[in-house]
Structure 1
Amino acid sequence: MTNATVLVADDDAAIRTVLNQALSRAGYDVRITSNAATLWRWIAAGEGDIVVTDVVMPDENAFDLLPRIKKARPDLPVLVMSAQNTFMTAVKASEKGAYDYLPKPFDLTELIAIIGRALSEPRHAPERAEDDGQETMPLVGRSAAMQEIYRVLARLMQTDLTLMITGESGTGKELVARALHDYGKRRNGPFVAINMAAIPRDLIESELFGHEKGAFTGAQARSSGRFEQAEGGTLFLDEIGDMPMDAQTRLLRVLQQGEYTTVGGRTPIRTDVRIVAATNRDLKQSINRGLFREDLYYRLNVVPLRLPPLRERAGDIPDLVRHFMQQAEREGLDVKRFAPEALDLMKTYPWPGNVRELENLVRRLTALYPQEVITPGIIATELRSETSGEPPAATGHGGSPTTIAQAVEENMRRYFADFGEDLPPPGLYERVLAEVEYPLILAALSATRGNQIKAAELLGLNRNTLRKKIRERGVSVYRPTRSA
């Protein structure tokens, strides 16, 4: 729209100056103010073609002003800016009727592009859900990557578009799906989740679509499936890449025709659910390998959303730690404080287990350490240093190792992470067993000063079995030095 007038409201003089100059150079007439009262007076008088406003102003919050703006001029697009760049800010902006939301600091090129798009689109005032006043925080983080996720979710809240969430394990894919449901127009319906990787492949169709009595051996009564359970709400299909081909074909029919049949049934059943799918795999590779239907991929991938790994948003770690500490406190665990240097050290760690690994660490620190302040030394003990390449040692109250199982679990998590989307070569059990047996036998021989009979007794092995393992594992037989 040529010669359009942009109304700008922000109590920061520097921001007003920057916006005035940038929008004027872009060809817009600009009117600027530092307060909500003047902005409302202009809007009530019918002035302006678009509004750009900060949320927090000296005299009134923009979220309180927005309902009046939408009532007086429902077609007037309002772009909201805020330094309080949380998920709830984006949700509130959407619920109150804002055209879009930009976190501060913002990119001027992006701001001008959004203004141009808003002015060129036909505007309709959508129905918005009422704000229930609850200031919960389902998603945490203020990084640029998370801000983009908040904005996408805010735009999707009042739609039924199918969403495909991708990301590494532990990035919070189900949490995002729940947030989309809990703050969207289907919030009064059920949220039903199913993990394809956790269900035997021959039972997935029955789990999804239900079955009739006698449909297969053991089907003694009719059973409802997840589609029926999620009617009117949201169905979250986690690890969609593990769905077998037959089930993929049936799911495609649901997405194309909006109906399904139960296993053993003949009558089509209409369904009204929103589908949110998620995967940590590269589905395009699966398509090339003939493991995933290409037509189903494009049906599910209407809106793609990639969740960044924690290492790509390390700046969010302090906020996440605070969030998990508050959860731990509500559960009755001791309150801890993290030294700034400890948080800085955590930002340098690669976090192969992502947010889930961070949450587990915070819980472990809260439960096992008596210290009120978590120091860099404690963090260094728990996490493997990137520079040294040493694995982290699970620790107890005094900083000493707790269980071998924890150390093995941590190393296995890193081992699988190194292979990315692929699996390691076969024979993993034997390789791990060999690595555990070698130091165990070596330690037993050292403790018994090379006496294989005593070492066998210590280990609970037959002497011949121990000798065989010494040969197989290539263990150096302990020989005490002269001074020993």
Structure 2
Amino acid sequence: MNASGKKILIADDDSSIRLVLSQAFTRLGYQVRATGNATTLLKWVTDGEGDLVVTDVVMPDENVFDVLPRIRKQRPKLPIIVMSAQNNLITAVNAADAGAFDYVPKPFDLDDMTSAARRALSRPADADAAKAQARAVRDDRLPLIGRSGPMQDVYRTIARLVGADLTVLITGESGTGKELVARALHDMGRRRDGKFVVINLAAVPRERVETELFGKEDGDSGKLVDADGGTLFLDEIGDMPLDAQTRLLRVIDGSEPALNPKTGRRPNVRIIAATNRDLRGLIQQGLFREDLFFRLNVAPLRLPPLRDRADDIPDLARAFLLRANREGLPSKTIDAAALERLKLHAWPGNVRELENLVRRICALYGEDLITARIVERELADHQPVVEGQEGPSTLAQLVERKLSGYFADQPDGLPPPGLYDRVLEEVERPLIQLTLAATRGNQVRAAEILGLNRNTLRKKIQDLGVEMSRGRR
């Protein structure tokens, strides 16, 4: 392979890593110089040596994040790849802020490292294109993407919470990345060596929630015990039945001794909950316990909808294109006009909807360049919601928007099995509750309005757990 005489400077205090990288780059035809300290690296760069720097973060004499600004000042066009065993969100963001072309976590795959080097050394001549591509490569490795004001607020909150072990309540619309934030809090926190256990309460049949969460009396452990020593993520906590809420509250305050059968002790679990529903509104309706809300809302974290951070859409789209290509879909680029069109869309399904759109375009279109025409065609059935403009006017449109967001919030866009029954239950419960409220609990009148047999209505009230009387507390 012709490397055109390009020279790579390697800096790492681990001699074995220096040897492995030196041999790999030499085999590819590059010239290589390697050092174990930051001072020598800075001298080489100052003397004008090197077409690429590959460096560790923690060096014996200096932290590379303190050195990179000096390198950028002297050689602003010199690409730098940062590698670190401290592979978390903060390290990746610091690398990007310091101007690194790419960030590679240790232990790294040698093919990934050489691929990153090739991209850095063959980056586009256009400075803006090179910068955008570098951001996309870096962003694709991050759990959260975006540099807008609203996302900076999220990052600052995460940074304050990772060092603590507080209960966190994450709120935000479907598809905003609530589980990604929960995982970041776990992976960067004190419990990173423990399990991250997820239960989606909207996807579990109501009668099975307690069993899934607390286990069975015959010894089968639930999610609470599975998460012992780690983090339990309660996704869509607003869908938890009242009985399960009561039991969860007793477990949190210690009045119910839930034991880990393996240790004989109470599970040591950090709880992170998330919801796209208005819990305070549910409290007023008697559908959510106020005391549990205060137990969960120790550290609130709100995620902004994508329409409130439209400036992040270009970075998100480019990162999703790279991710789609890595997963086997055709490689594509996107032009500026297409990005501007994406920024005008309302994104009811938020980030997940955008990612699904990018995947769909990569799979269905043969063009290498995604243009505004292609984006417009895919968004033809979704008009952006402008402030002050009326939303969907029919029940069918409202349901379609809600389901669109729900599908967009699922991995690969596919909800868990049993969707039909869950959707019917979601519609039936509020419909019956509102009808009973309108008839002041008169089941005969409610059955007449609903067009149901009274016995059928009574059975549905029992099966769905409809509250007959919900006085405000």
Q: Which residue of 2 aligns with 1:331?
A: 327
1:172/1:355 contact within 8 Å kept = yes
1:90/1:150 contact within 8 Å kept = no
Which residue type is aligned with residue 253 of structure 2? Q
State whether structure 2 residue 239 is matched by structure 1 residue 234: no
Percent of aligned positions with the same letter in both sequences? 53
Q: How far apart, CA to CA, are the structure 1 residues paired with 2:238 and 2:255? A: 21
Q: Which residue of 1 aligns with 2:177?
A: 172
Q: Which residue of 1 aligns with 2:16?
A: none
Q: How far apart, CA to CA, are the structure 2 residues paired with 1:306 and 1:388? A: 23
Q: How far apart, CA to CA, are the structure 2 residues paired with 1:270 and 1:314? A: 45
CA change 1:67–1:370 in 2 (3 A) is same
Once the 2 structures are TM-superposed, how far is the Cα of residue 386 of structure 1 from its aligned partner?
Answer: 7.3
CA change 1:293–1:168 in 2 (3 A) is same
2:334/2:369 contact within 8 Å kept = yes
Q: TM-score, with normalisation over the residues of structure 2?
A: 0.54
State whether structure 2 residue 187 is matched by structure 1 residue 182: yes
Paired residue secondary structure (1:270): coil
Q: TM-score, with normalisation over the residues of structure 1?
A: 0.53
State whether structure 2 residue 380 is matched by structure 1 residue 384: yes
State whether structure 2 residue 201 is matched by structure 1 residue 202: no
1:190/1:232 contact within 8 Å kept = yes
Q: Which residue of 1 aligns with 2:450?
A: none
- After TM superposition, the structure 1 = structure 2 runs for residues 355-366 of structure 1, keeping only pairs within 5 Å, are 355-366=351-362
Q: How far apart, CA to CA, are the structure 1 residues paired with 2:384 and 2:190? A: 50
CA change 1:416–1:103 in 2 (3 A) is farther
Extract unaligned runs of 5+ from structure 1: 1-35, 38-60, 70-87, 97-101, 105-130, 214-221, 390-408, 428-484
Match of 2:294 among 293, 298, 310: 298
Report the aligned-residue RMSD.
4.1
State whether structure 2 residue 410 is matched by structure 1 residue 414: no
CA change 1:258–1:308 in 2 (3 A) is farther
- After TM superposition, the structure 1 = structure 2 runs for residues 345-364 of structure 1, keeping only pairs within 5 Å, are 345-364=341-360
Q: How far apart, CA to CA, are the structure 1 residues paired with 2:98 and 2:172? A: 23
1:339/1:375 contact within 8 Å kept = yes
Paired residue secondary structure (1:342): helix
Paired residue secondary structure (1:192): strand
Extract unaligned runs of 5+ from structure 2: 1-37, 40-54, 64-86, 100-104, 109-137, 386-395, 406-425, 433-473
State whether structure 2 residue 230 is matched by structure 1 residue 225: no
Q: How far apart, CA to CA, are the structure 2 residues paired with 1:239 and 1:311? A: 22
* More RCO (CA 8 Å, sep 6+): 2
Which residue type is aligned with residue 174 of structure 2? S
Q: Which residue of 2 aligns with 1:342?
A: 338
- After TM superposition, the structure 1 = structure 2 runs for residues 53-68 of structure 1, keeping only pairs within 5 Å, are none
State whether structure 2 residue 158 is matched by structure 1 residue 137: no
Q: Which residue of 2 aligns with 1:92?
A: 91
Once the 2 structures are TM-superposed, how far is the Cα of residue 291 of structure 1 from its aligned partner?
Answer: 0.8
Match of 1:374 among 362, 370, 375: 370
1:250/1:260 contact within 8 Å kept = no
Once the 2 structures are TM-superposed, how far is the Cα of residue 240 of structure 1 from its aligned partner?
Answer: 0.4
Match of 2:217 among 209, 212, 225: 212
CA change 1:187–1:329 in 2 (3 A) is same
CA change 1:256–1:144 in 2 (3 A) is same
Which residue type is aligned with residue 298 of structure 1? F
- After TM superposition, the structure 1 = structure 2 runs for residues 238-253 of structure 1, keeping only pairs within 5 Å, are 238-253=235-250
Q: How far apart, CA to CA, are the structure 2 residues paired with 1:66 and 1:237? A: 43
Provide, for residues 202-252 of structure 1, a one-character-per-residue CA deviation record: whole Å limited to 9, x for no partner.
Answer: 211111111122xxxxxxxx3110011111111000010111111111111
Which residue type is aligned with residue 414 of structure 1? R
Paired residue secondary structure (1:332): coil
Paired residue secondary structure (1:198): coil
Q: How far apart, CA to CA, are the structure 2 residues paired with 1:186 and 1:133? A: 20
2:313/2:342 contact within 8 Å kept = yes
Once the 2 structures are TM-superposed, how far is the Cα of residue 262 of structure 1 from its aligned partner?
Answer: 7.1
Equivalenced residue count is: 292
1:353/1:413 contact within 8 Å kept = no
Q: Which residue of 2 aligns with 1:56?
A: none
Paired residue secondary structure (1:164): strand
1:94/1:155 contact within 8 Å kept = no
Q: How far apart, CA to CA, are the structure 2 residues paired with 1:242 and 1:65? A: 49
Provide, for residues 412-448 of structure 1, a one-character-per-residue CA deviation record: whole Å limited to 9, x for no partner.
Answer: 5436689xxx979969xxxxxxxxxxxxxxxxxxxxx
Q: How far apart, CA to CA, are the structure 2 residues paired with 1:423 and 1:384? A: 28
1:260/1:271 contact within 8 Å kept = no
2:170/2:301 contact within 8 Å kept = yes
Once the 2 structures are TM-superposed, how far is the Cα of residue 92 of structure 1 from its aligned partner?
Answer: 3.4
CA change 1:259–1:68 in 2 (3 A) is farther
State whether structure 2 residue 258 is matched by structure 1 residue 261: yes
Once the 2 structures are TM-superposed, how far is the Cα of residue 312 of structure 1 from its aligned partner?
Answer: 0.4
Q: How far apart, CA to CA, are the structure 1 residues paired with 2:339 and 2:236? A: 32
Q: How far apart, CA to CA, are the structure 2 residues paired with 1:189 and 1:95? A: 25
2:89/2:184 contact within 8 Å kept = no
Match of 1:147 among 137, 149, 152: 152
CA change 1:350–1:302 in 2 (3 A) is same
Q: How far apart, CA to CA, are the structure 1 residues paired with 2:60 and 2:285? A: 51
Provide, for residues 240-279 of structure 1, a one-character-per-residue CA deviation record: whole Å limited to 9, x for no partner.
Answer: 011111111111122212864379x9x9851111100000
